[in-house]
A and B are shown apart, each in its own frame.
Chain A
Amino acid sequence: MPRIHRDSIDAIKFLLPFFVFLGVFLIYPIFQSFYYTLNDITLSHLEPKFVGINNYVKLFSDKLFLQALTQTLLYLAFHTAIGVPLGLGIALLLNEEFRGRSFARACLLIPWSTPPIVAALTFFLSLNPGFGPINYLLELLGIIPPKFSIFGNPNLALFALASVSLWKSASLFAFIFLSALQNIPTEPVESAKVYGASSFTVFRKVTLQYLKPTIAVNCILSCILSLSGTQAYDLVAGITGGGPGYHTYMLYYLAYMTAFPWNNLGYGATISYIITFIAVIFAIILLRLWYKRT
């Protein structure tokens, strides 16, 4: 038997469980769910009623969808603008030698590995207006009035949620930056120093140039986490439940609520496809900007 032929048969044998499982539970359902976006369908009555592009048209006049869209974009901007520089800062720190470095690194693994719902819980408790120690400290410092609920404030709740999410994802950004920092060749840095460049100039002109692709990766990651990361559902469900009012509804949470508790699978699937679409657009824009500049 020719080698190529035998190889293909072997490959099929090895890939069989992978294909059978994903074919049945992933590929077929994904096409199916695209079909759902063209239908009215509920989980209790699995009989689709064809409505054409009605679900997509409905989006433009759905006030809650538009509000969730705006709030998601605000959350995403905050998450990225604070999270990526914070991650870079932590990575630069961990790249230096100092006593207690491995302890600091172990500390960073706690938020990373904590279940998102437990992360929600820790902030739900420490920021409780009655007994939350962090809330009390903010009161003592005069930053907030007594018994002030941060998650209950329509203007702050969204950013407070984004900060909780950052507690979890900053270490992820930091470790990714750290790996990039360790791969930067030493010669350009050394020669810049020899020519008398200050360490800030070295950072800006040399290190940052090498980090550009990693910054792009972390920005894309931050977008994905804000749009559809597990945190995007867990934190909202655990801390605010979308409230106060609808001020912390974001697309991912809205899609979940629409599909399951509100029992409208077709419309929920439509929103989840819109999320995918936005994520792809962001990734393309970021990559384009990047390759233009370098």
Chain B
Amino acid sequence: MRRSKVKTVVIYAGAIFVILFTLTPYLLTIFISLQREVDLFTRPPFPFKLVTFTLDNYAYILRYEPFLTGFLHSALVAIATTGFVLLAGSLGAYAISHINFPGKTLLFNFIVVVYMLPGLAMLIPAVVLLKTLGLLDTFIGMIFAHSIILLPLMTWFLIGIFESVPKDIDEACQIDGYSRFKSLFKMIIPLSKFGFFMILVFCFINSWNDLMFANTVGIVNIKLLQPRILEFMSGARVLYTQLAAAGFLSSLPVVALSILLQKQIVKGIMKGAVK
């Protein structure tokens, strides 16, 4: 069916709007990160005058120790959190989706209620507990703090993903002499690998992007990347061009992941796998 001319114009105008709306602030930040501070402070700003681009800001940030440790700590915490959450979450989600036991609905509802709770309502008591246990400002404490929000959330999504694997397959595995553990790891997870991988990416992005928990649980020893960015932004003298470079680099892993895995991620968002 052919579209009317008016409709075509509306569609392309809309598309241009969406692309400008989403890309402009991000691209402007990249441009600022490529400028020298002198050029930045002489008006008019970049797209309205020509400037020579430089990679100096990146050279500075990549040698700046607080940024590098932040990057490393964030990566370690995000990977460990993802590992722990997916392991405990898969076991739990398997039980809820493939085993019959009393209290199953109650448990499922509990997870949904947790989804509604504000993160802060969990953070305040968690910080007190971590302090009592001596885990404040440690790696384990940070991984636990992230897992408190992510474990119920990701278990919820994993239940949906595992439920799409027919129960017959699971039962057939057990008739063939598989234990339930083996059936989960050798059949259910491989059969739902796309969904599983998507949850893995969601979990990583959530942990990487977190600011509030990281800012509260990490004090001196564990400084994650996002609190570092906040620190750069609110310092006495802000180094704008370096800040832009740091911001771009800190968003790069998650933005690159989500663009590489575009199709799966969009499917995941559509299923409600985000908060």
Contacts and interface: CB of A to CB of B under 8 A. Distances in A.
Interface residues of A, number: 96
B120 A228 contact: yes
Interface string B14-52: 110011011111101101100000001101111110000
Contact of B18 (A90, A120, A175, A275): A90
B138 interface: no
Interface in A79-122: 89-90, 93, 96, 98, 100-122
B29 A93 contact: no
Given A106-B259, A108-B18, A115 B28 contact: no
Interface stretch (B58-66, B192-200, B266-274): B266-274
B214 to A, nearest CB: 10
Contact of B32 (A96, A102, A120, A125): A125
B18 A273 contact: no
Contacts of A22: 148, 151-152
Contacts of B233: 117, 120-121, 124, 238
Contacts of B12: 98
Interface in A1-33: 4, 7-8, 10-12, 14-18, 21-22, 24-26, 28-30, 32-33
Given A15-B91, A29-B122, A121-B247, A10 B99 contact: yes
B121 interface: yes
A126 interface: yes
A222 to B, nearest CB: 13
B118 interface: yes
Given A15-B91, A117-B230, A134 B24 contact: yes
Chain A interface, DSSP helix/strand/loop, else mixed: helix
B121 A265 contact: no
A115 B233 CA distance: 14
Nearest to A4: B100
A121 B144 contact: no
B88 A18 contact: yes
Among A105, A120, A176, A230, chain B packs the most CB atoms within 10 A around the CB of A230
B106 interface: no
B129 interface: yes
A256 interface: yes
A116 B209 CA distance: 7
B40 A133 contact: no
Contacts of B177: none
A132 B29 CA distance: 10
Given A7-B99, A228-B120, 5 more contacts: A17-B88, A36-B124, A109-B255, A117-B233, A133-B28
